[in-house]
Amino acid sequence: MSTGSSYTRVLLKLSGEALLGTERDFGIDETVIRNYAQEIKSAVDLGAEIAIVIGGGNIFRGVQNAMKGMTRAHADYMGMLATMINGMALQDALEQAGLQTRLQSSIKMEEIAEPFIRRRAIRHLEKGRVVIFGAGTGNPYFTTDTAAALRGLEIDAEMILKGTRVNGVFTADPEKNDDAKRFVRIHGDEMIRRSLQVMDMTALTLCRESAMPLHIFDMGMSGNLNRVLQGENVGTQVHWNEEAEAPYVAEEA
């Protein structure tokens, strides 16, 4: 099948906090999630197979005050349930946009989601369905970044895309420092050495061991997802190629 995308299959990691929009302290902004659905539909229309892992920070933030003194494992299971709420909301928005979807959970929830089964997930993708992976890895002490790296490797994704609030990886926080420069391309080890906070170390280690490339970009900017898939200079490419001509390239933010 011909495709306008440079990639056949990708894993898209979305931040739960991004669903807050600008007016909320917790919960889901309807405009944001509908915009995400349209962006993902456009990517599917390009011919890309899209799997998604979404965080739960927007829901979890609403119960943080009740968590004081709570054990880490118990709190992490609550976070997994928050990702399922977001997964269900995104699934509905995608289906209203005309896409076929499947929601798979790492924790048994037969009434609302399929269990995660690797071969079944791959088959759904091959049939053009968007697959949403919820409940993280199913284990406490692991982030949704790690879940994204793990699921991306399991489904044989060509790249993991991380949609954030800023357009890539910068030398400093671009929201606080006007002199910050964007890395167009950077080796993963260089990113780790500079302590650039992109993903947690467990997720990065999984990617490094399998040479899984990453692409960090601003999901909130209309059309960015398609631009990434078409190979345009958007966001930051994180690679593990020791023979690359330069460890990184930076430009003005």
| Pairwise pLDDT comparison (2 vs 244), residue with the higher score | 244
Q: Which residues contact 58 (CB under 8 A, 6 or more apart)?
A: 16, 17, 18, 19, 20, 24, 26, 27, 28, 82, 86
Has residue 54 got a pLDDT over 80? yes
- The pLDDT of residue 179 is 85
The residue extents of the domains of the chain are: 9-252
Superfamily grouping for domain 9-252 = Acetylglutamate kinase-like (3.40.1160.10)
Has residue 245 got a pLDDT over 60? no
- The pLDDT of residue 141 is 94
- The pLDDT of residue 188 is 93
pTM of the model: 0.91
Could you tell me the two tokens for 32? Answer: 């944001």
Cβ pair 165, 16 in contact under 8 A: no
> What is the rounded CA–CA span in Å between residue 230 and residue 243?
24
Per-chain mean pLDDT for the chain: 90
- The pLDDT of residue 200 is 92
* Banded pLDDT at 18 (limits 50, 70, 90): confident
Has residue 144 got a pLDDT over 60? yes
- The pLDDT of residue 174 is 82
* Banded pLDDT at 20 (limits 50, 70, 90): confident
> What is the rounded CA–CA span in Å between residue 236 and residue 167?
8
What is the chain's length? 253
> What is the rounded CA–CA span in Å between residue 64 and residue 248?
38
Has residue 160 got a pLDDT over 90? yes
- The pLDDT of residue 82 is 93
Q: What is the percent of the chain where pLDDT is above 90? A: 68
* Banded pLDDT at 67 (limits 50, 70, 90): low
- The pLDDT of residue 1 is 40
Q: What integer is the mean pLDDT of 219-229? A: 95
User: DSSP state, 131?
Assistant: E
User: DSSP state, 48?
Assistant: -
* Banded pLDDT at 26 (limits 50, 70, 90): confident
DSSP string, 199-251: S-HHHHHHHHHTT--EEEEETTSTTHHHHHHTT-S-SEEEE--TT-S-SEEEE
Cβ pair 216, 198 in contact under 8 A: yes
* Banded pLDDT at 5 (limits 50, 70, 90): confident
> What is the rounded CA–CA span in Å between residue 232 and residue 226?
9
* Banded pLDDT at 242 (limits 50, 70, 90): confident
Tens digits of residue pLDDT in 161-206 = 999 888 899 988 887 888 889 999 999 999 999 888 889 999 999 9
Q: What integer is the mean pLDDT of 118-125? A: 98
